Homo-oligomer: A and B are copies of this chain.
Amino acid sequence: MSKKIDLNGIFPPIPTPFYKEEVAYDRLALNVEKWSKTGLAGFVIFGSNGEYPYLARPEKLQTVKTVAQTAPKTMTLIAGTGCESTRETIELTNAAADQGAHAALIVTPHYFGDKMTSTALVRHYTTVADRVSIPVLLYNVPKFTHINLPAEVVAELSRHPNIAGIKDSSGNVAQLGEYLNQAAKNFQVLVGMGSALFSALTLGCSGGVLALANIAPAACVSIYNLVRAGDFAPARDLQLKMIPVNKAVTGTYGIAGLKAAMDWLGYFGGDPRPPLLPATEKEKAEIKEILIKAGLL
């Protein structure tokens, strides 16, 4: 249980492909093979874009296994294994580790949101980190959870030997700055919003977990490499060019839009699981236009 894991670089939170509502493991493998040639540092399996709340436990484990068997050994596999209860989170995390996950992304429990006080969150994450066999990443995604991980909580948890970093999807750079300021030196902060990648990297973040990286991995990797090389102007220009794409596949059209974009770009996207609605033909056409305009298609 040490923080040996390296979270530098770009990680796509990969969508789960379905065929007739069943997980299409074969197509997942094809997607992973294709992504593996783009310079990505690893994969996040079951970020929000993986529709994790819609998958049963055996499906989750089979998905982790599929990616682990397909991805190059050099890539880092992070599995989203956060559940509402502390005990189920521990159990699922260890099971995912057995299938090949190198680290676990643990979303804040949130159903009883007004009771998820700093004390409750510290206890939850500490108990989980104490009892799992792989490093833990905190996952702050207020858009979906309606709670926010305060910098003080992150600072305290960053001292735990088995808590390696955080994925923050709030889009709030002031808060990213607080995380960077207050956390332990070896704690790694990943930004979870494609439109904030450039800003987060210039501020000192290690990398990004970006829906955008599923459909524009090369662009995201370029932004990362340019900033690392100190070449800010082209990085910024590329970032600005990617903002409309990112907005389309995260905000406006959501996961259905992200999957439609993948279909346009030669990946297998398909439809999300119900109750999520598939993209309409009109929406698919709009997404195509956006991809063309951004030079991705």
Q: A120-B277, A121-B275, A177-B240 are in contact. Are A254 and B86 (CB under 8 A)?
A: no
Q: How far apart are A7's CB and chain B's nearest CB, in angstroms? A: 19
Bound state CA distance, A177 and B247, in angstroms?
Answer: 11
A26-34, A96-104, A193-201: which one contacts chain B?
Answer: A193-201
Query: Do B202 and A232 touch (CB < 8 A)?
Result: yes
23 contacting pairs across A/B (C-beta < 8 A): A21-B87, A48-B111, A54-B84, A55-B85, A87-B273, A112-B276, A114-B254, A115-B255, A115-B277, A123-B275, A123-B277, A173-B173, A174-B246, A174-B247, A177-B243, A178-B243, A178-B244, A178-B247, A199-B199, A199-B202, A199-B203, A204-B236, A204-B240
User: Which residues 239-287 of A sit at the B interface, judged by CB distance below 8 A?
Assistant: 239-240, 243-244, 246-247, 254-256, 273-277
Cβ-neighbour of A274 out of B55, B123, B143 (below 8 A): B123
Residue A88 lies at the interface, judged by CB distance under 8 Å to chain B: yes
Using CB atoms, name the residue of chain B closest to A196.
B173
Query: Do B181 and A193 touch (CB < 8 A)?
Result: no
Top 7 A-B residue pairs of the complex, sorted by shortest distance between their CB atoms: A174-B195, A53-B84, A124-B275, A54-B85, A199-B199, A86-B274, A177-B243
Residue A146 lies at the interface, judged by CB distance under 8 Å to chain B: yes
Q: How far apart are A210's CB and chain B's nearest CB, in angstroms? A: 12
Interface string of A167-187 (1 = CB under 8 A from B): 000011110011011000000
Q: A180-B240, A181-B244 are in contact. Are A112 and B254 (CB under 8 A)?
A: yes
Query: Do A117 and B277 touch (CB < 8 A)?
Result: yes
In the complex, which residues of chain B have a beta carbon less than 8 angstroms from the beta carbon of A244?
Answer: 178, 181
Q: How far apart are A272's CB and chain B's nearest CB, in angstroms? A: 9
In this complex, the interface size class of chain A, counting residues with CB under 8 Å from chain B, is: 35 or more
Bound state CA distance, A180 and B178, in angstroms?
Answer: 25
Q: How far apart are A140's CB and chain B's nearest CB, in angstroms? A: 15
Query: Do A144 and B274 touch (CB < 8 A)?
Result: no
Q: How far apart are A148's CB and chain B's nearest CB, in angstroms? A: 13
In the complex, which residues of chain B have a beta carbon less than 8 angstroms from the beta carbon of A193?
Answer: 174
Residue A295 lies at the interface, judged by CB distance under 8 Å to chain B: no
Using CB atoms, name the residue of chain B closest to A199.
B199
Query: Do A273 and B85 touch (CB < 8 A)?
Result: yes
Bound state CA distance, A86 and B277, in angstroms?
Answer: 11
Bound state CA distance, A146 and B113, in angstroms?
Answer: 10
Q: A173-B196, A240-B204 are in contact. Are A54 and B88 (CB under 8 A)?
A: yes
Q: A85-B54, A115-B254, A254-B115 are in contact. Are A120 and B247 (CB under 8 A)?
A: no
Query: Do B174 and A172 touch (CB < 8 A)?
Result: no
